[in-house]
Amino acid sequence: MTAARPSLTALLSAFALILTSCNVALAQKAYDTGASDTEIRIGNTVPYS
């Protein structure tokens, strides 16, 4: 019975690590206007003339 306890602990800790990493990956991204994953806009986005 003592040989199975370290592997059970390792299994539970790996499962907890996977769950927390999935939550971070699936979190909603909140950006302001003009910012996204692919483009960064600096300054005014409307032409002056």
- Dump pLDDT digits (tens) for 12-47: 888 888 877 766 666 667 777 767 777 777 777 777
User: What's the pLDDT band for 5 if we cut at 50, 70, 90?
Assistant: low
pLDDT at 30: 72
* Measured distance between the N- and C-terminal CA atoms of the chain, rounded to whole angstroms: 79
Pick from 49, 44, 19, 48: which is nearest to 34 by CA?
Answer: 44
Structure letter (DSSP) for residue 34: T
In angstroms, the CA 28 to CA 7 distance is 34
Nearest 5°: the CA angle 20, 16, 12 is: 170
